[in-house]
Structure 1
Amino acid sequence: MRCTVRSARTLWLAVVAVTFLMLQTAGAETIARCGKGWLEEINGYPVLHLKGTPYEIGYQHGALLRESARQNLEHIVNGEGSRQLIEFGPIKVTPRDAILSILTIQRPHVPQKYFDELAGLAAGSGMELQDVQIGNFIPELFHCSGFALMNSATQDGTLYHGRVLDYATDWGLQNHAVIMVCEPEGGIPFVNVTYAGFIGSVTGMNAEHVSIGEMGGGGLGHWQGVPMAFLVREGLERGKTLDDVLTIFRENPRTCEYFYVVADAKTNEAVGMEASWDVMEVIRPGEAHPLLPSPVKDCALLSAGSRYEELVRRVEAGHGRFTAETAMKLMERPVAMKSNLHNVLFEPKTTRFWVANAGSDGSPAAEQAYHAFQLSELLKRKPDADAEVVPFRAAVKPGTPVSRATSRAPVTIGD
């Protein structure tokens, strides 16, 4: 049998793919099950599988990550959220007070399904519903970077989408990091790189090979719209194409000042986007913009100041030769800030992705090891039949008190 260069390369790629999957799941262990959901650890990284209605997904989340969700949200809401924000004479306004006001303003713009999911999260975790809502409505004031490389910019034309999240490593969110594999009823399955207790998304990719990453700006006070993290969720759950995602952002009222990189491997294209309360602007690869004055062919590069300049320099130096491994190096310091909470590289065509989180001591994610996953493989996985079962409790009628002694989750993530 004659072995051509093409057939040899195909065989090599197949071997690489199989090896990737074997290494990814070699250390997998089911922790517990709840309803249609289940929790496992893959090489020490918590992976939470969620499936069903919004309430079911929320309950599974709260029950299976009970201790971690409680620790994370209670620290944010009653710890960081109780710090003095403004003092006016004898009156002190805390972030918690501010979020309660923002929640009231944004409620009419938020789909009911998210309030149902938050109700499930509160019931499953045993937390007060108001605390869960406050924790999930805290404005995401991130200062980040993001990029997409494709076509002539990479070694074989593969699209890579990198996402650098710079935000508050001193809050300890990294100790509650979790991969959520969501299969919402009637929606597109997706992966959310997030933290226990949070239902919104700032970093994700769906089974339609679309990925989204967010970068925060200014514009505080413009709250009359869909919270950014829920808008990203909508893009992941309903966006089959890049244009679908742009339409979702365009047709919904938005808040504050936010920037995004959105990629679609089906067409091998990506864009940078500003979707703020008063602006919806799309920046195509290679296009200049007053805030992004140094475009590079077949690249969408979003950052600010010297970090943007360094990102451009690195991309220009490696243009045409980027692989997954070298694309990850673009997210090293100083493109990533000291407060680098997580870094993620998506390869949407294969649905592979790599995740690094900040160290428990607050050291940047860029200095930590990456964990490799593949969404298509994660969606095929099943829990061990003999794993511990955490009981699922159906939603109660409106007005019925939620007991704090609901189900128990058997695992705490991190410290």
Structure 2
Amino acid sequence: SIVNAKLLNIEGNRVLVAKGTHKEIGEAHGILLKNQINSLVDGVLYVVGWYYTIEEKKWFLSEMSNAYKRLEPFIPQKYQDEMMGLAETSGISLREIRLANVFPAMFHCSGFAVFGDATVDGTLYHGRVLDYMTEIGLQYNAVVFILHPTGSNAFANISYAGFIGSVSGMNDKQVSFGEMGGGGVGDWDGMPMPLLVREGLESSNTLEAALKLFETTARTCEYYYVIADGKINDARALATTPEKFEIVTPGGTHPRLPSPVKDAVLISAGDRYKKLVERVKEEYGKIDLEKAIRLMDRPVSMKSNLHNVLFVPKKAEFWVANAGQGTEACKEHYTKYNLTELLKLLEK
């Protein structure tokens, strides 16, 4: 363990708790997860890169470099510092760390929030399904980050060694975020999606503040989000592109989300969306923790189901399942974490 940082093992899962400046957090991340970061960067930049290059007939690393050049002006200095710290201690070049951190912007997923009349006792459950290339073994480098950067909210980020951004997270103000990819890859003039979510965790104390942040920040590509707030038992879905910012309220409609359900926001695509709606309607008013977890089972999650998370923001609790060797995350054990308890370790 190093100053202000510890690597824990909870039921066989890696949990990194750290506080300090962004640079210090990056340095701790690089020291404590060096092997996992090396494995992830190789898998992402070289294994995925090879598939991409063959499929798309475009050289992956130069595509990523071009994306990064356009994204860079929109990346706040504190996150640049964190990547620098990470590169310095992990022994991986800053260029590779930066390019690997563009990669999660390609993730595709499903998400939901159910509360009020939809659940047994009104509890808000926010679930998110991450589906992406389990073949490259990202799941072996899975990490739950519990971070408290100087001057920011403390938060949990369910991620992978070497990534500093977030696609699934919850902060100590009971605000939780889950992202789902759409299309529009190539519109890179804005803040990278994983860093926008991370900024939401760090700076948003309320659902309203999060919506404002996402609306006023220069955005990239096409993404959908579910953002929930346990303090007010409410959630919104967002449909965004660089030009477009649409808020979908619980029970509200959107051309891509045609089947509204009261006290619920449900996001997925095609048949997975239909199945998610069907499950929520079937269990309506009876959804408890276990049923909320089961909403994420196949076929709502895909064969490439990499991780699933269920947030209960009001209680600062969350459950995580990661893909195994050849098994989807939804078929694996869900481990329970408590953000408040884990943050206490930083006070000791």
The answer to whether the aligner puts 1:205 opposite 2:170 as a matched pair is yes
Contact 2:47 2:136 in 1 (8 A): no
Which runs of no fewer than 5 residues in structure 2 stay unpaired?
none
**Residue 231 of structure 1 corresponds to which residue in structure 2?**
196
Distance 2:26 2:137 in 1: 22
Distance 2:55 2:341 in 1: 52
Please give the residue correspondences for 1:113-262 in structure 2 after superposition, counting only pairs within 5 Å.
113-138=78-103, 140-262=105-227
Aligned mate of 1:96, from 61, 71, 82: 61
SS for the counterpart of 2:310 is strand
Q: CA deviation at 1:291?
A: 1.1
Contact 2:19 2:346 in 1 (8 A): no
The answer to whether the aligner puts 1:364 opposite 2:328 as a matched pair is yes
Distance 2:193 2:138 in 1: 19
The answer to whether the aligner puts 1:311 opposite 2:276 as a matched pair is yes
Q: CA deviation at 1:232?
A: 0.2
Q: Which amino acid aligns with 1:350?
A: K
**Residue 33 of structure 2 corresponds to which residue in structure 1?**
65
Q: Which amino acid aligns with 2:339?
A: L
Q: CA deviation at 1:86?
A: 7.0
Point out the structure with the larger helix share: 2
Q: Which amino acid aligns with 2:169?
A: G
Q: CA deviation at 1:245?
A: 0.6
Please give the residue correspondences for 1:318-357 in structure 2 after superposition, counting only pairs within 5 Å.
318-357=283-322
**Residue 344 of structure 2 corresponds to which residue in structure 1?**
380
**Residue 75 of structure 1 corresponds to which residue in structure 2?**
43
Distance 2:183 2:126 in 1: 24
- CA deviations on 1:305-330 (whole Å, 9 max, x unpaired) are 11111111110111111111111010
Contact 2:305 2:329 in 1 (8 A): yes
The answer to whether the aligner puts 1:273 opposite 2:235 as a matched pair is no
C-alpha distance 197-87 of structure 1, shift in aligned 2 (>3 A): closer
Contact 2:200 2:213 in 1 (8 A): yes
Q: CA deviation at 1:360?
A: 2.1
Aligned mate of 2:12, from 44, 60, 70: 44
Q: CA deviation at 1:93?
A: 3.7
Contact 1:83 1:94 in 2 (8 A): no
Contact 1:190 1:375 in 2 (8 A): yes
Contact 1:235 1:245 in 2 (8 A): yes
- CA deviations on 1:277-302 (whole Å, 9 max, x unpaired) are 11110000001221111111100011
Contact 1:50 1:181 in 2 (8 A): yes
Distance 2:186 2:336 in 1: 38
Distance 2:200 2:240 in 1: 13
Q: Which amino acid aligns with 1:267?
A: I
Distance 1:175 1:139 in 2: 16
Normalising by structure 1, what TM-score? 0.81
Distance 1:191 1:123 in 2: 24
Q: CA deviation at 1:84?
A: 5.8
Distance 1:162 1:153 in 2: 14
**Residue 15 of structure 1 corresponds to which residue in structure 2?**
none
Contact 2:111 2:178 in 1 (8 A): yes
Distance 2:11 2:278 in 1: 35
Q: CA deviation at 1:71?
A: 1.1
Query: Following superposition, which runs of at least 4 residues in structure 1 exceed 3 angstroms of deviation?
Result: none
- CA deviations on 1:112-149 (whole Å, 9 max, x unpaired) are 11111000001111111111111111253223111000
Aligned mate of 1:287, from 231, 252, 262: 252
Which runs of no fewer than 5 residues in structure 1 stay unpaired?
1-32, 385-415
- CA deviations on 1:38-87 (whole Å, 9 max, x unpaired) are 11111211110121111100000000001111111122123322456279
Contact 2:14 2:144 in 1 (8 A): yes
The answer to whether the aligner puts 1:300 opposite 2:265 as a matched pair is yes
Q: Which amino acid aligns with 1:364?
A: E
* Structure ID, larger Rg: 1
% identical equivalent positions: 49
- CA deviations on 1:355-399 (whole Å, 9 max, x unpaired) are 0011122x2111111111110111112599xxxxxxxxxxxxxxx
SS for the counterpart of 2:345 is coil
Normalising by structure 2, what TM-score? 0.97
- CA deviations on 1:83-102 (whole Å, 9 max, x unpaired) are 562799xxx74211111111
Number of aligned residues: 348
